[in-house]
Structure 1
Amino acid sequence: MKTISQFLDQSKGPIYSVGPGATVREALESMAQHNIGALLVLDGQSLAGIFSERDYARKVVLKGKSSSDALVQEIMTTKVITIDTRHTIDQCMQIMTDNHIRHLPIVNGHIVLGLISIGDVVREMIAYQKTMIEQLQSYIAG
């Protein structure tokens, strides 16, 4: 099973983030622009939290707050579960399932390296299973 280090090597994309002082509306606009479901909240280089569609729905919409007035730091998730480059895709799936989360920041010490989503994990697991099936078929066909 692929490690997060291998995943990062193959899918080097930008890290989308927002500062804690940004408005919720600014964060939502960025998420819409990049077609993503969550943003890392960075205070300088440090991970301060994560802001997701779930945070928006539960902490802004349901509480009657204004997206233009509320700040990301007021509603972001601050107790963020993170992984490092030694984790495997399989371990990520287990962590996400156990904690009912859809995004895992990838960190090395205090440095943010990226973010993996449940969609990324599912794609990687399907590719792995496809490869295993092909290898088994090849072995059986001999």
Structure 2
Amino acid sequence: MSKPVILCVDDEKVILESLKAQLKSAFGNAYQYEVAEDANEALELIYELTEERIKIILIVSDWLMPGMKGDDFLIRVHREFPYIIKIMLTGQADEASIERAKKYADLHCCISKPWSEADLVEAIKSAMAKL
């Protein structure tokens, strides 16, 4: 059986690499770590993994991305996959977008960029405690 997936979505490769390294450091081999550079790529990956019966348990998503903004992406994910925990990581989202994601995507929390690794890990641990 494959490990559950944590998916990171951001249009900056350096941020994706940093997130993946921090998550691996904090959680080791407990999870599979996947990345996508925009919402559409992330949706394709979610559908592929779901088809392969690989469970995505958490998404960490940027807000400001080309194509689809993070709140719209997380709302869409929530409609189809309500069990996936959603965290927004952003330096740009306005309060209205964050509130919209909380209301319509059941957003677990929003973390501001630049983020601290400790805050990110704590947010994920508190989210996982709800599973």
TM-score w.r.t. length of structure 2: 0.30
Larger gyration radius, structure 1 or structure 2: 1
TM-score w.r.t. length of structure 1: 0.29
